[in-house]
A = this chain, B = another copy of it.
Amino acid sequence: MSSKKHLRATTPTVRRVPTQRPGPAGGKRDQNRLRRLTQLCDAGLAEFLERGIEAVTVDEIARAAGTAKGNFYRYVEDKRDLVDALIAPLRAAFDDAMDRCEGATDAATDVSGLNTAYMTLALDLLKLFADHRDLVRLYLQEARVPGGGARAPVADLERHVTARTIALTKVAHEHQLLGKIPPEVSALAVIGATERLVLAHLRDGLLANEAQIATSLVRMVMEGIAG
């Protein structure tokens, strides 16, 4: 057949990711693997926040995670894949909150039911910000740049967030809750205001008092800037 050296017992293609003996879920193999992946994610996230996704090299991430570059590719396809893994939980948390709100608005029979639904959403999002501070910051820092290469998952999420928020606002608009302002406009204005405040808090350390940001924002949304 082939020469004695380099004979490949199993599959001909080079396997980067384990497929034959991944071990039982929750077993030692699984644990180790998850730990390394987490280290890579954490290291990547820290670097991305500091210098931007695009500027960070695979080698830097691997070293910061305490391993070698070659090993990086055993856990993840490339930098974009790592960003994907990073962003996925954020997207999931956002969808959870939105799903819950949509369920509540669908079930609501009167205006006050709608308002509770929106207040619940606000609280859910507040919790989301608290639970995923660094991820939210990464999203805010990177979302607006054209999504080529590794930034694509972030840009995707931005479109997703925009679309779902506008859709939700249209419901409010149909129930006459928004006066003459087009739903797209009010949706984007609220998103924009919220995101800018959260960014100032997370990135610049401005506005240390989180509760005050939240209540001020709600007040401004309800009554305008002079509230």
Contact = CB atoms under 8 A, between A and B. Distances in A.
Contact of A191 (B146, B179, B196): B196
Interface stretch (A58-66, A88-96, A216-224): A216-224
Interface in A164-214: 177-182, 184-186, 188-197, 199-200, 206-207, 212-213
B181 A192 contact: no
Contacts of A149: 55
A227 interface: yes
A95 B42 CA distance: 40
B192 A227 contact: no
Interface string A9-21: 0000000000000
B185 A189 contact: no
B142 A225 contact: no
